[in-house]
């Protein structure tokens, strides 16, 4: 799958006259959004992680857009007035790393165009459509094998066209190099456009295939009459297609799995592939590297994935990371800490449990006393205790544990991807997570981010586990670029898209979004008069445990069913004899949706006389 796109946006847009004198064509708005920005959003939703925009005329507009989307890089063609699209592509070339999608800037199109190109296994493909009747058609001719032979606006040159040029292509790095060599071969080619460069490469041996989508909804917008045609005919078709593909929105306020974006859901629909193919190995390697990079320096840490839930990752970590004859100390201040201890028990690992309040911060002095006994090789705790929403201060506790010589293993399942984490700074050697919480993928992949030096210590330890063995899984992948057993193939494609969307949003901004949702919730609880289990200063902002109101009329199932009928799923929580219900901020949830939910909550609480 291609990860880079190049948008050629250097042109003057002269055919628009006054309208584009002080603005690039791509900034003409369709339904309130500049057409180039529509294109950018579609590219991101289809796996593109980096967009290079070749600018020229009014380049400052694109530089401003690059501030809004940090995945955009701009490259200015200073000679835009005397060159054409190939001149702009040449300026972008140094930023291009491999395969890329090449787009014109003045297009609106149905996103299926990108899906088709991302699904292509051929290296160079030019997208074509059937008859557009746009009165500005560029015709394509192919040979019997569908290889591009001619590009022309003149129907006489191409009496039986294979299709019309859309302005979206997939280009390989070697094809780009040949295009550049041709462009630079003679000064007379200064005004060459990219489509003719592609044609030249195609007829001189590196095939460029034409893939035609007969009824693709798309148009280039070059002048006022094309703009009105776009608004009256084409955009309504695109909008209808897109609304038909929308999946019913269910906002999950339960503590995982979390709400996913439609683009993550659709990312699972891919060609079948044997996971032992190198292509899939490359995908897993890239995913693992990206997962590491979110929380650590990839030269010191590595990510090991398994087909399992978050608990599977916890089990892999606990059962792999305690040395033979080692001793584990586990902090238990909620269900997930208790679960770590339970796993260690099942594997007969020698262990002590440090019990701490489920809703108050850990007493670090008392814990340090226990550290001082020097009985332990390994220290385990949970970063964010999802049971209550209590955020534990791992960044204070783990460096201390390391000071006393312990290896630190931490469940970061419900904090990873939701807030900035630096494993080295936090003193964490091993951290677990899952594909389905803050990272926003589908459930099915558990992973452990490991300090490599610590991981390598496990090399000669006798195996206490089999499927879940960290070192074996690591070593096998290193040697073969394969997992030992069948990985959840489609889930990995979804995770890859979720990673792309995390990179686009950034983890800092994601944390800010969750915090905004949490503030909306907390304000509403104050207004309704509901109390929270954990003091707000100790809360994570990811989960809020709310004490149930003191009235016999309260019924969790009734609240659940009422919320669900409005599109919100909530979850109960019982801590000893304390009854709560819990609201999570995870995944693809927006502040406006939390606003809608608190109105639903208030309506229910009002109906039972709480407010
Ligand atoms: C969700 C969660 C897990 C794992 O749950 P699974 O259902 O196994 O995915 C583990 N630890 C914490 C802190 C969690 O929030």
Confidence of residue 14 (pLDDT cuts 50, 70, 90): confident
Quote the pLDDT of residue 580.
Answer: 94
Which ligand 1 atom sits nearest the alpha carbon of residue 311? Answer: 8
Say what the alpha-carbon torsion angle 472, 473, 475, 476 is, to the nearest 10 degrees.
110
Confidence of residue 386 (pLDDT cuts 50, 70, 90): very high
Nearest CA to ligand 1 atom 5: 310
Q: What is the pLDDT of residues 417-441, one digit of tens each?
A: 999 999 999 999 999 999 999 999 9
227 within ligand 1 shell (Cβ under 6 A):
no
Say what the alpha-carbon torsion angle 525, 560, 337, 577 is, to the nearest 10 degrees.
80
Quote the pLDDT of residue 506.
Answer: 96
Which ligand 1 atom sits nearest the alpha carbon of residue 386? Answer: 15
311 within ligand 1 shell (Cβ under 6 A):
yes
Strand 209-213 with 139-142, pairing: unpaired
Quote the pLDDT of residue 574.
Answer: 80
Q: How far apart are the first and last CA of the chain?
A: 53
Of the candidates 397, 329, 402, 387, the residue with the CA atom closest to the CA atom of residue 357 = 387
Residues across the chain: 611
DSSP notation for 269-334 = ------TTSHHHHHHHHHHHHHHHHTTS-TTTEEEEEEES-HHHHHHHHHHHHSPTT--EEEEESS
Which ligand 1 atom sits nearest the alpha carbon of residue 312? Answer: 8
Query: Any idea what the Cα angle at residue 189 is, between residues 205 and 2, rounded to 5°?
Result: 50
Residue 234 has which token pair?
């084409």
- Backbone CA torsion sign across 344, 347, 351, 353: positive
Strand 100-104 with 107-109, pairing: unpaired
309 within ligand 1 shell (Cβ under 6 A):
yes
Distance (Å, whole) CA 205 – CA 77: 29
Confidence of residue 28 (pLDDT cuts 50, 70, 90): very high
Which ligand 1 atom sits nearest the alpha carbon of residue 443? Answer: 9
Q: What is the pLDDT of residues 300-350, one digit of tens each?
A: 999 999 999 999 999 999 999 999 999 999 999 999 999 999 999 999 999
Alpha-carbon distances of 25 from 46, 222, 568, 574, rounded to whole Å: 24, 8, 41, 58
- Give the CA diameter of the chain: 90
Nearest CA to ligand 1 atom 6: 310
Distance (Å, whole) CA 302 – CA 447: 10
Residue 586 has which token pair?
């995870």
388 within ligand 1 shell (Cβ under 6 A):
no
Which ligand 1 atom sits nearest the alpha carbon of residue 436? Answer: 9
Best mutation site among 308, 386, 439 for ligand 1 pocket (most ligand atoms within 8 Å of CB): 386
Number of neighbouring beta carbons within 10 Å of residue 239: 14
Residue 117 has which token pair?
């190109």
500 within ligand 1 shell (Cβ under 6 A):
no
Q: HSE of 91 in the Cβ direction (CA atoms, 13 Å)?
A: 23
Q: Inform me whether the pLDDT recorded for 1 exceeds 90.
A: no
Q: What is the pLDDT of residues 237-278, one digit of tens each?
A: 999 999 999 999 999 999 999 999 999 999 999 999 999 999
Between the CA of 605 and the centroid of ligand 1 the distance, in Å, is 30
Residue 168 has which token pair?
């979206």
Between the CA of 473 and the centroid of ligand 1 the distance, in Å, is 21
Distance (Å, whole) CA 367 – CA 135: 77
Q: Inform me whether the pLDDT recorded for 385 exceeds 90.
A: yes
pLDDT > 90 fraction of the chain, expressed in percent and rounded: 96
Nearest CA to ligand 1 atom 9: 310
Best mutation site among 305, 335, 434, 439 for ligand 1 pocket (most ligand atoms within 8 Å of CB): 434
Best mutation site among 336, 384, 410, 437 for ligand 1 pocket (most ligand atoms within 8 Å of CB): 336
Distance (Å, whole) CA 111 – CA 266: 12
What's the chain's average pLDDT? 96
* Averaged pLDDT, 482-487: 97
Strand positions, DSSP E, 236-371: 251-252, 301-307, 328-332, 351-355
Distance (Å, whole) CA 184 – CA 45: 35
412 within ligand 1 shell (Cβ under 6 A):
no
Distance (Å, whole) CA 493 – CA 489: 7
382 within ligand 1 shell (Cβ under 6 A):
yes
Number of neighbouring beta carbons within 10 Å of residue 349: 20
Distance (Å, whole) CA 536 – CA 540: 9
Of the candidates 485, 435, 488, the residue with the CA atom closest to the CA atom of residue 303 = 435
334 within ligand 1 shell (Cβ under 6 A):
no
- Backbone CA torsion sign across 268, 437, 569, 527: negative
Of the candidates 288, 349, 251, the residue with the CA atom closest to the CA atom of residue 598 = 251
Between the CA of 414 and the centroid of ligand 1 the distance, in Å, is 7
* Averaged pLDDT, 154-177: 96
- List strands edge to edge, sheet with 407-411: 301-307, 445-451, 430-434, 407-411, 378-382, 328-332, 351-355
317 within ligand 1 shell (Cβ under 6 A):
no
434 within ligand 1 shell (Cβ under 6 A):
yes
Nearest CA to ligand 1 atom 3: 310
Q: Inform me whether the pLDDT recorded for 20 exceeds 90.
A: no
Q: At what angle do helices 278-293 and 489-505 cross, to 10 degrees?
A: 40
* Averaged pLDDT, 457-480: 98
Contact 511, 541 (CB under 8 A): yes
Between the CA of 259 and the centroid of ligand 1 the distance, in Å, is 15
Which ligand 1 atom sits nearest the alpha carbon of residue 412? Answer: 13
Between the CA of 440 and the centroid of ligand 1 the distance, in Å, is 14
Quote the pLDDT of residue 573.
Answer: 84
Q: Inform me whether the pLDDT recorded for 374 exceeds 90.
A: no
442 within ligand 1 shell (Cβ under 6 A):
no
Q: At what angle do helices 85-92 and 194-203 cross, to 10 degrees?
A: 80
User: Environment class of residue 439 by beta-carbon count within 10 Å: exposed (0-12), middle (13-18) or buried (19+)?
Assistant: buried
Q: Inform me whether the pLDDT recorded for 17 exceeds 90.
A: no
Helices (H) and strands (E) in the chain, counts: 21, 27
411 within ligand 1 shell (Cβ under 6 A):
yes
386 within ligand 1 shell (Cβ under 6 A):
yes
310 within ligand 1 shell (Cβ under 6 A):
yes
Between the CA of 311 and the centroid of ligand 1 the distance, in Å, is 6
Per-residue DSSP letter, 230: I
- Backbone CA torsion sign across 314, 501, 115, 92: negative
Distance (Å, whole) CA 276 – CA 591: 42
Quote the pLDDT of residue 201.
Answer: 98
* Averaged pLDDT, 217-242: 95
Confidence of residue 18 (pLDDT cuts 50, 70, 90): confident
Of the candidates 260, 265, 255, 336, the residue with the CA atom closest to the CA atom of residue 569 = 255
Residue 71 has which token pair?
């995945």
Quote the pLDDT of residue 290.
Answer: 98
Distance (Å, whole) CA 119 – CA 594: 36
């Amino acid at each position: 799958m291609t990860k880079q796109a190049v948008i050629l946006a250097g042109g003057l847009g002269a055919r628009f006259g006054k309208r584009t004198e002080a603005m690039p064509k791509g900034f003409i708005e369709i339904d309130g959004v500049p057409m180039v920005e529509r294109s950018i959003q579609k590219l991101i939703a289809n796996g593109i992680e980096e967009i290079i925009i070749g600018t020229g005329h009014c380049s400052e507009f694109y530089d401003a857009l690059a501030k809004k989307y940090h995945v955009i890089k701009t490259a200015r063609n200073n000679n835009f007035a005397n060159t054409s699209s190939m001149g702009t592509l040449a300026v972008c070339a140094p930023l291009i790393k491999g395969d890329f999608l090449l787009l014109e800037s003045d297009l609106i199109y149905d996103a299926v165009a990108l899906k088709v190109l991302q699904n292509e296994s051929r290296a160079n493909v030019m997208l074509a459509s059937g008859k557009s009747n746009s009165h500005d058609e560029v015709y394509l001719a192919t040979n019997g094998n569908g290889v591009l032979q001619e590009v022309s606006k003149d129907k006489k040159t191409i009496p039986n066209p294979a299709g019309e040029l859309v302005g979206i292509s997939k280009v390989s790095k070697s094809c780009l190099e040949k295009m550049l060599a041709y462009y630079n071969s003679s000064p007379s080619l200064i005004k060459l456009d990219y489509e003719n460069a592609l044609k030249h490469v195609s007829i001189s041996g590196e095939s460029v295939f034409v893939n035609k989508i007969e009824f693709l909804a798309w148009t280039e917008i070059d002048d006022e009459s094309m703009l009105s045609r776009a608004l009256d005919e084409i955009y309504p078709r695109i909008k209808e297609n897109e609304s038909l593909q929308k999946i019913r929105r269910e906002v999950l306020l339960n503590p995982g799995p979390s709400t996913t974006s439609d683009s993550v859901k659709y990312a699972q629909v891919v060609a079948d592939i044997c996971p032992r193919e190198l292509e899939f190995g490359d995908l897993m390697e890239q995913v693992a590297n990206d997962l590491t990079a979110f929380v650590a320096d990839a030269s010191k840490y590595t990510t090991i994935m398994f087909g399992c839930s978050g608990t599977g990752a916890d089990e892999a970590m606990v059962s792999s990371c305690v040395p033979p004859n080692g001793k584990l100390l586990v902090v238990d201040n909620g269900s997930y800490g208790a679960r770590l201890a339970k796993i260690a028990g099942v594997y007969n690992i020698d262990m002590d449990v440090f019990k701490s309040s489920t809703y108050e911060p850990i007493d670090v002095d008392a814990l340090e006393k226990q550290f001082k006994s020097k009985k332990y090789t390994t220290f385990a705790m949970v970063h964010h205790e999802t049971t209550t929403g209590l955020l534990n201060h791992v960044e204070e506790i783990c460096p201390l544990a390391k000071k006393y010589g312990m290896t630190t293993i931490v469940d970061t399942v419900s904090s990873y991807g939701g807030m900035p984490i630096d494993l080295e700074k936090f003193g964490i050697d091993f951290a677990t997570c899952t594909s389905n919480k803050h990272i926003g993928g589908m459930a099915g992949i558990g992973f452990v981010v490991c300090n490599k030096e610590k991981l390598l210590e496990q090399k000669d330890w006798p195996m206490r586990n089999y499927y879940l063995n960290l070192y074996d899984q690591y070593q096998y992948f290193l040697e073969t670029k394969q997992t030992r057993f069948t990985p959840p193939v489609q889930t990995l494609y979804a995770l890859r898209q979720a990673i792309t969307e995390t990179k686009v949003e950034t983890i800092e901004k994601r944390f800010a979004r969750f915090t905004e949702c949490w503030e909306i919730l907390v304000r509403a609880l104050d207004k309704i008069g509901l109390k929270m289990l954990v003091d707000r200063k100790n809360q994570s902002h990811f989960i809020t445990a709310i004490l149930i109101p003191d009235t016999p009329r309260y019924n969790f199932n009734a609240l659940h069913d009422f919320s669900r009928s409005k599109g919100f799923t909530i979850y109960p929580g019982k801590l000893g004899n304390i009854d709560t219900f819990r609201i999570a901020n995870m995944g693809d949830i927006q502040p406006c949706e939390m606003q809608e939910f608190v109105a639903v909550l208030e309506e229910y609480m009002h109906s039972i006389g709480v407010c």
